[in-house]
Structure 1
Amino acid sequence: MDTTLMRTVTLATALGTGVLGGVFVGFSTFVMPGLDRLAASDAVRAMQAINVTAPRGLAVPLVVSGLGSLAVGGWAFARSSGSARALLVAGALTGVVALGVTAAYHVPRNDALGRVDAGSAAAAAAWQGYAPGWVAMNHVRAALSLASAGLLVAGAVRAG
Structure 2
Amino acid sequence: MIDGALFVVVLVGALVCAVSAGALYAFSSFVMKGLTALPPAQGIAAMQAINRAAPGPAFMVAFLGGALLSAVIAVFTLVSWPGEGGPLLLVGCALYLFGMLGISAVAHFPRNDALDKVDPEAPASAAYWRDWAREWTRWNHIRTAAALAAATLFVLALVR
Provide the residue aligned with 1:135 in structure 2: 137
Moved more, 28-37 or 118-127: 118-127
Q: Do the aligned residues in 2 keep the contact of 1:88 with 1:156 (CA within 8 Å)?
A: no
Bigger proportion of residues as helix: 1
Counterpart mapping for 1:6-45 below 5 A: 6-45=6-45
Mapped to 2, the partners of 1:39 and 1:155 lie a distance apart of: 46
CA distance in 2, matches of 1:132, 1:9: 36
Give, in angstroms, the shift of residue 73 of structure 1. 1.1
Q: How big is each residue's C-alpha offset from its partner over 1:54-108, in whole Å with a ceiling of 9 and x where there is no partner?
A: 1213110012101110110121122042661111111111110111111111011
Runs of at least 5 residues in structure 2 that lack an aligned partner in the other structure: none
Gapped regions of structure 1 (runs ≥ 5): none
Matched, 1:118 2:120: yes
1:130, 1:111 → 2: CA distance?
Answer: 12
Of 92, 106, 109, the match for 1:107: 109
How many residues are matched? 157
Alpha-carbon RMSD across the aligned residues, in angstroms, is 1.5
Matches within 5 A, 1:43-122: 43-56=43-56, 57-81=58-82, 84-97=85-98, 98-122=100-124
Question: Structure 1 stretches (4+) deviating beyond 4 angstroms?
Answer: none
- Give identity over the alignment, percent: 37
Q: TM-score, normalised by structure 1?
A: 0.93
Once structures 1 and 2 are overlaid, which stretch shifts more, 135-144 or 77-86?
77-86
SS of alignment partner, residue 54 of structure 2? helix
Q: Letter of the 1:14 partner, please give it.
A: A
Cα distance between partner residues in 2 of 1:80 and 1:154: 17
TM-score by length of 2: 0.93
The one-letter amino acid paired with 1:157 is: V
